Amino acid sequence: MKEKKYQLIADEIKKRILNETYKANELMPEQGKLAKEFEVSKITIKKALDGLARAGLIYKKSGLGTYVLGQTLKMEKLDSPANAFDGLYHQQGKEHIKSKVILFEPEFPSAQVAQKLNITTTELVYNIKRLRIIDGMPFILEHTYMPVSIVPKLPLESIKSSIYSYIHDELNLKFGGAFRKIHSDWSNQDDVKYLETNLKVPMLEVEQVVWLANGKYVEYSKSRNVFNTRAITVVDINNF
């Protein structure tokens, strides 16, 4: 899967921050200047900067511009921003991540799942369970439901790589937002089986509902990992 221009630009800007070409607490070049340098639109530059802001490397001050936070708040390699929409495949890189498909079939949803997706129990959903593996290590166990009518003809290859890329690139759908609830739990039998842990081990669970720009709900999912393998990060900037 070809890497997007904004991702390549974000990678280059990140390198400049880490090697202190752009120093901490300094004002970054304006978006127009960066757009000219990389020969792309301002929209592409904005997407690149938005990703870096979610990662805690830069922050934007209304009316003043974009500033470098530097490495003080740098995330660990396996951490995930709480407000990310690019998915684990792009966060970690396709060379590092693999997915083992445990379940992938259409079915009629339970009343609870239907309520989460704002659909009826007579509307088909994909029931997807997969194990995300990073550098050979079992990392996250995901259980996802998606309405078939909104994500039609979802191919198995996308389940093995990136569902979000299929939604963005093939269906040309844009995410509008997400509600995410992050909490702890004890490990269950599935965790023991797939994440190679033991019973009564603390787990981190992220439950989320994602909706599109048109307001339709596209995903209800739960993702679980052993407590010491990943953290969820938030960067909160005070613009007042």
Q: What is the pLDDT of residue 1?
A: 41
Q: How far is residue 155 from each of residues 2, 85, 136, 160, 162, measured CA to CA in Å?
A: 17, 20, 24, 9, 10
> Amino acid identity of 222?
K
CA 105 from chain centre, in angstroms, equals: 23
Q: What is the pLDDT of residue 128?
A: 98
Which residues lie closer than 8 Å to 153 by C-beta, 6 or more apart?
none
Which residue is it, tokens 């070049």? 29
Model pTM score? 0.75
Q: What is the pLDDT of residue 77?
A: 67
| Average pLDDT, consecutive stretches of 10 residues, N- to C-terminus, the chain (240 residues) | 76 88 90 94 91 83 83 64 68 78 98 97 98 93 98 95 90 92 96 96 96 95 94 68
Q: What is the largest CA-CA distance in the chain?
A: 56
Which residue is it, tokens 């093995």? 160
Q: What is the pLDDT of residue 200?
A: 94
| Ramachandran class of 39: left when φ > 0, alpha when ψ lies in -120 to 50, beta otherwise | left
Q: What is the pLDDT of residue 170?
A: 92
